[in-house]
A and B are shown apart, each in its own frame.
Chain A
């Protein structure tokens, strides 16, 4: 395939789409599938057939439409109408009333002018819920692979890296390292073979951003990886996806097959000298494999144990070769940056955090779902405008970002701009994008205990502070939550948290105490209320913890 062929294909697809009177989109992402969107799509298709509307009507399964809490979702695109909580009967009515007679249903309609939709800025999710993720033509019709063609044909690898660096894009996996800098390091590292790895081992409880991108727009990730491969000089890419995402894996496999068939992956991409293959590696259910050194061990077929850094993967990664590791969302940002230029991207967001961030909004909030917002948006906008606030009769208490590695942000910080630096300042992290909202019914000690149990279960067991430390922190939290704790236990808890944070080998252990430390920082009284009354000695002094010993 040449660039002209690509252009032709794109035009052909757009023509095909505009030839149809109606384009009915139903959400075929995991959330809606689990509440019956497949039955809905069957009903839609059956009714369309019954009324012989196939020629003028497309029924398309798309990626996530966003408002996951109200699924299954169906969108009639040309009329800009979104239906929520669609069941088989409603689906039939949509065809008979809306499509056939042009009268949209009154019930089940979602207000598309609501802040949930209007306050978002979509870059990563621009195709999610718009195109059929299983047809490469639709992606090409949405300017897909245009950026890869531009990079391979018109740009030198160094120019691509410079463009990414100038865009200010930072790693979306959590730490926020400059993507351009990382690419530069890998491109300069020496090695006979280099690798590009996509980290799709999204494991934070309550997070489903990467899953939605892979399910809704897998080609975007592949295109980003191929551009990265071209930029750093790699010819082999791996997507490391967790086994818990079977639908994402299936769609990725299909996408790779389609792209290879069209000469957009594989040898001599777009008739250039650039070769790039992508293979999938499936995780075996360990959270720690999201940590990059453990992930690489797992790809190599070994036990997924983290290794001390340095050496960093960018110098010595897969099989000792320079390896670029980025997260799904980071790769999903690459194509639009190359297509629209770094200035465009750098114009969105704040001074130090550019672009947008996808969040999975979950917990005690009205609109649960997948959202994409510009960096620097106040937390209040996310929770109250987009999220619609907490359920009736409750008050917003805190939001947890960064999952088990992050911290909570209390209600007096609602004006906080959501960017890397501001979140770090209040003791949380951006993380990969899980946002769990807690209301006045949530108990913070229980929250901390939940995350600590998660870390304890997911610790690989290699280093002592994480293996045994998380176990004892969990034990102390359990004791306190059962009202059996004492002031001494609080001292022990805080000491242990600091020790585990400072001495653990990898990111999992180093960040595991964060939920405890942050709930202690903002909600200390909730811990203290649960403590047993301080018994005093006969002379009136309180018992003092023994600081001198281990």
Chain B
């Protein structure tokens, strides 16, 4: 495969053809915040946190879905990009009912981490306080829509890795919601295998195991790389992250 050379933040890097900008940045420890992206799942370019500036392109492009090209000159962190990222996280914070202090995922939450990472100290938009439901009908797990950020990781892991496709998105725009089955209770679905993959890939406290309380829900995502490597390369790696 052909090798491409590109410039990121003024430094030169080489990358393989077909690699995404995000993959190259991750390899070289160039920080780019992400939310919907998760190694091992398909990329959807939905959260827009990883947008970068590419010279000669008037549009901001997401690093996760944009493939490297020879001679690309990329800026991953400019005042504008940083401001937009802060705005996106602020929008997320205003959209749901996120109360860290009483959340099972407090201290283990990617949304919380993101807020620190982008330097969000104040939300200027009015909180929407939507009327969201909680679904505790499943034997082992709970879905709390109040904390959902609609990253669709659960949808993708269930469809692509587990092959059950319990989850999907219903509704439009601000009224979008993750649904199980055809929109009924999670506990009533015939397709759920109770594998818990969705719970583990969920970035926030929206999906959690029953029995945990504040700050106790730690998400272990190592299984994903373990399964994918085993399937693709027939190698059995350690499950720790």
Contacts and interface: CB of A to CB of B under 8 A. Distances in A.
Interface of A: 286, 303, 305, 307-308, 310, 456-472, 475, 492, 495-496, 499, 502-505, 546, 549-550
Contacts of B214: none
B116 to A, nearest CB: 13
A467 B122 contact: no
A463 B84 contact: no
Given A303-B169, A464-B47, A549-B86, A471 B62 contact: no
B44 A550 contact: no
Interface residues of B, number: 41
9 contacts: A308-B65, A308-B66, A459-B173, A461-B171, A467-B176, A468-B94, A472-B94, A472-B125, A550-B89
B84 A499 contact: yes
A549 B122 contact: yes
A461 B124 contact: no
Contacts of B192: none
B174 interface: yes
Q: What are the 10 tightest A-B residue pairs by CB atom distance, in nearest-first order?
A: A550-B86, A461-B176, A550-B90, A459-B173, A468-B91, A308-B45, A308-B65, A471-B174, A503-B48, A550-B87
Contact of A463 (B46, B94, B122, B168): B46
Given A505-B48, A549-B122, A550-B123, A472 B91 contact: yes
A457 B48 contact: no
Nearest to A309: B65
B184 interface: no
A550 B47 contact: no
Nearest to A475: B126
Contacts of A456: 173-174
Contacts of B92: 464, 468
**Chain A at the B interface: SS class:** helix
Interface of B: 44-48, 51, 59-60, 62, 65-67, 83-84, 86-92, 94-95, 118, 120-126, 128, 150, 168-169, 171-176
Nearest to A460: B172
Contacts, number: 110
B64 to A, nearest CB: 9
Given A475-B126, A550-B123, A458 B173 contact: yes
Nearest to A505: B45
A463 B47 contact: yes
A476 to B, nearest CB: 9
Contact of B84 (A467, A472, A503): A503
Given A472-B94, A549-B124, A464 B88 contact: yes
A465 B91 contact: yes
B47 to A, nearest CB: 6
A461 B87 contact: no
B173 A471 contact: yes
Contacts of A462: 44, 46
A503 B60 contact: yes
Contacts of B83: 499, 550
B241 to A, nearest CB: 26
B48 A463 contact: yes
B172 A468 contact: no
A459 B65 contact: no
Contacts of A466: 173
Contacts of A463: 45-48
Question: Could you say which of A308, A469, A475 has the most chain B C-beta atoms within 10 Å of its C-beta?
Answer: A308
A458 B175 CA distance: 11
A331 to B, nearest CB: 28
Given A308-B66, A471-B128, A499-B83, 15 more contacts: A286-B172, A303-B168, A308-B44, A457-B173, A458-B172, A459-B173, A461-B176, A463-B46, A464-B92, A466-B173, A468-B94, A549-B90, A549-B122, A549-B124, A550-B123
Contacts of A549: 86, 90, 120-122, 124
A315 to B, nearest CB: 13
A459 B150 CA distance: 14
B87 A499 contact: yes
Contacts of B126: 472, 475
B57 to A, nearest CB: 12
A472 B128 CA distance: 9
B48 A504 contact: yes
A496 B168 CA distance: 29
Contacts of A308: 44-45, 62, 65-66
B91 A464 contact: yes
A307 B169 CA distance: 15
Given A502-B60, A550-B124, A467 B174 contact: yes
Nearest to A462: B46
Contacts of B46: 462-464, 505
Contacts of A464: 46-48, 88, 91-92, 95
A308 B47 CA distance: 12
Contacts of B62: 308
A463 B171 CA distance: 14
A428 to B, nearest CB: 18
A546 B51 CA distance: 23
Nearest to B95: A468
A291 to B, nearest CB: 14
